[in-house]
Structure formats: C-alpha cells, structure tokens
Amino acid sequence: MKVWIDAAVAGAERQVLGMTPVERHVRAAMRAGAAAEDIIVDGGTRSVAQTQDLLGNCRDLPVRLVSGTGDVAQRLQSCGRGENTETLAMAGDVVADPRLFPHLAGESGTVVATDHSEVAHALPSGFAMLYGDWGDRGDGQTCLLKLAAGTPLPAADNVTDLGTRLLQDGVTQRFDSTGRNKHLAMQRRDVPFWIRPVPDAARCRNVERFLFDASYKGSTDVITRYVFPYLVWPIVLFCVRQRIHPNTITIVSIVATFAAVPFFAVGWWFPGLLLAWLMGILDSVDGKVARLTMTDSRLGAILDHGLDIIHPPVWYLAWAIGLSGLKPISGLFSGHLFAKPIFLAALLMFALYVADRLVLAVYKQRFRRGLHSHGPIDAAVRGIISRRNVNLALFTIALIFGWGEFAFYVIVGWQLATVLWHALRTAWILGRREMPPLPT
C-alpha cells in the first residue's frame, strides 16, 4: 500500500507541537507498517528542497518527494495511481489520529474517514481559563482516504473535497468505527478517533491544546489532574519545540528521583522535596512529549514505568529513616533502626506496596487494561488512593506544620486501605464476571 501526502497546501509548513503535519503523517504511516519507500510527499509547485524541509527529523528517510501541477486527482494519478495498488491519501494541513492508519489500511474498497465524534475533556476547566479552550468535536468533513486500486477520481481541489465527491458519486463508503477498540491503555480512557485541520495559526493553537488534553490520563491522582497541568503544559511546549527527546527528560527525572533519597534519609527535607516534586512533574512531561511527538520507544517505557514501580518504596524508607533521627548507615548496621516504630511502619508500607501491585496485576492480566478504567467509581477512586503524588503532597504539608511522623503513619494506614479496596473490588468484578466497557 502506498501513502500519499498532499504537501502542496499552504498550511503544510505549520508547526503543530514542534512538527509539521507532513512529518506527523510520515511517522504515523511508518508506525502502521508502511515502508519509507512507499510514502509519497507531493509538494505540488514547491521545490524538492522546500518539500524536504517539511519532513523535519524524517528528512533522511528514503521518502519519495515529487512535484507537479494540477488538482488533487491529477497529481494522485501522476504518482502511480494507475498501478495495481491501494493508497492512503491525506492533506498536509491536517493532523490525524495515528490509530486510524492501520484501521484504514485494513479496510476493503475505498473508504472515507471523517471525524464528527466528541472527545471529552480530561483537563480541569481552570486550564482552559488560563491557556485557552479547544474544540472537542471534529468538523465532520476533513477526511483521510483509503483508495482502492482503480478507483475513478473526480476533479477536486483538496483531499477533503475529493472525499466528499467520492461519497456523492457513491463509489465509496464512510469509515465505521463502531465496535473498534478506542481504549488507550496508557491514558486509561477511551478516546474516539480524531482528525483535525490546522488551516491557520489560531486553529493550530487550538489543536495543540486538544492534543495535550487527549494525551492526559482519564483516571489519575488529583495532583496530576488538577495541579500539574498548569506547569506541565509550558514545559511540554518548550520540549517539543526544542526537539528534546522524551528519554532525555526521563533520565533527568531518574537523577532527581535518586538524588532526593540521601536528603530524605538525613532529614534535609527542603532539597529532598524539591527534587521529589521536580521528578513528579517531569514524570508527567516525558510521557506526554513521547505521545505527542510519536517518539515513544520500548526503552523509554522501560525507564519510565520501571522508575514508577521502583522508587516509591525507596522514598518511604528514606522518609522513615529521616524521621527516626538516627544516622542512616550506623542506624541500619547497628540494628537501632529496627527498634524504631517509624522504620517498622516503613517496612510494612513496603510490603503493602508490593501487595497492591500484585493485586492490580490480577485485573490487568485478565482484561489487558488497568483496574481504574473499569468503571466510573474506579476512575474516581484512582484520584485519592495511596499513590506517590498523593502521599508526597500529604507528607509535604505535614512537614510544614511539624507533623511528619504522624503523617507517615497516616500514609501507611491509607496504603492498607488502598490494598483492601483493590482486592475487594477485583474479587467483586471477577466474581460477578463483569466486563470492561465495550467499544462503541
């Protein structure tokens, strides 16, 4: 299958979160299995150098760059539409959901995909008040096309016009997303397939906020949902526009994570908390940069999620040592730490943390998704259960008032309550043979 991108349109050079729509199409097509040699970027009357500039970091790939005159149908034909092959066609001033590419490639016949569905907001209303609102519904007209071999192409000014005319001529059908899996496991939410045009700078900014919102998790803790977005958004904008790789952000996050441990252990709370909150913010940044720029990788996932799993109990142990008043190394080797109730509570916290992870793994093994995406109550509870950010916020506030030790015991109790809730909820779902929401 060939992929044809109309880069002759005026908006093809517009940057959307640090990348042109053309570069985004190329990345999405290759993720869907297309070979670089089968991707055609048609610059129209642009020079080859101008067209190549639209590829950004994909400029060194063996993508086929062509020029030509005429309308969309004529340029499509001149690029090999007469061959016995199927073609995915898209405009260079449109941003499209990468998930659409493999779905359209698997369709038979000629198909027109448009977007008229509503994508529910994940960010708080205050974010829109500060940074501006964004459209939650597609225009129902802007399209991606899957053209079967030999499909007659009527004259058309652009890809959307071509899709409209094909529908009117009755030689094609609309893409039906009913029943297809729209669940994004990393975001723990169902997001309809989307297509958004970026014809001007104002619409581009609108689409950028939409993409940022769509990258947010549907169920997450209250700190990540209601506090971090105001800080994460400008950092994400900076990172994507400077082409900072998400793995670089993750490495800085890892350094901050473990640099905080010795400060915690000796009771130097201010630098420890500063590094811990920096880690929490960057942990929200790296995944969004990866998803928004389609630069996520297996290594990045291992680094990011491995860090998320490993570091919380290390922090809790360091908190307990710092609160004990003992020197970390001598207190550990002399055994005096084990006589401190606060350290024993930390060991219990460690065991409860591991138990909670094991309980959550039971649901994930059964349904291939997180427990907190099962139903509204699970998403709501996710906001306040014992997790790193919730515990860090509670501990920070408590230290300000000199209640650190008391807060630590509260955190341990809250972890116990969390384990019990997850275990009972999982047993209830499995016992009743409930199923996650079906795709619509």
As a CATH number, domain 219-432 is: 1.20.120.1760
Rg (C-alpha) for the chain, rounded Å, is: 26
Which DSSP string corresponds to 324-353? HTS-HHHHHHHSGGGG-HHHHHHHHHHHHH
Cα–Cα distances in angstroms (integers) from residue 160 to residues 127, 139, 357, in the given order: 32, 11, 48
Alpha carbons 353 and 415: distance in angstroms, whole number:
7
Alpha carbons 219 and 210: distance in angstroms, whole number:
18
pLDDT along the chain (440 residues), means of 10: 92 93 95 93 92 92 91 85 79 95 92 91 93 89 92 91 92 89 83 92 93 90 94 96 94 96 96 97 93 83 78 95 85 79 95 96 91 90 94 97 96 97 96 81
As a whole number, the mean pLDDT across the chain is: 91
Taking residue 241's Cβ as centre, other Cβ atoms within 10 Å add up to 12
3-state DSSP call for residue 59? coil
* Surface-to-core class of residue 71, CB atoms within 10 Å of its CB (0-12 exposed, 13-18 middle, 19+ buried): middle
Query: Kind of pairing, strands 2-6 and 143-147?
Result: unpaired
User: In one letter, which amino acid is 385?
Assistant: I
Question: Which helix (H) or strand (E) is 143 found in, with range?
Answer: strand 143-147
**β-pair partners for 190:** 183
pLDDT of residue 223: 95
pLDDT of residue 440: 62
Q: Quick one: CA torsion of 309, 314, 319, 321, rounded to 10 degrees? A: 160
Cα–Cα distances in angstroms (integers) from residue 54 to residues 13, 14, 212, 290, in the given order: 6, 9, 22, 20
Is the sign of the CA dihedral 362, 394, 388, 315 positive or negative? negative
Alpha carbons 341 and 347: distance in angstroms, whole number:
10
pLDDT of residue 85: 82
**Residue ranges of domains in the chain:** 2-207, 219-432
pLDDT of residue 421: 97
Alpha carbons 50 and 54: distance in angstroms, whole number:
7
Alpha carbons 185 and 371: distance in angstroms, whole number:
11
CB hemisphere CA count around 122 (13 angstroms): 25
Domain made up of 2-207: CATH architecture? Alpha-Beta Complex (3.90)
The predicted-structure confidence for 371-382, as pLDDT tens digits, reads as follows 988 888 998 999
pLDDT of residue 328: 78
pLDDT of residue 66: 92
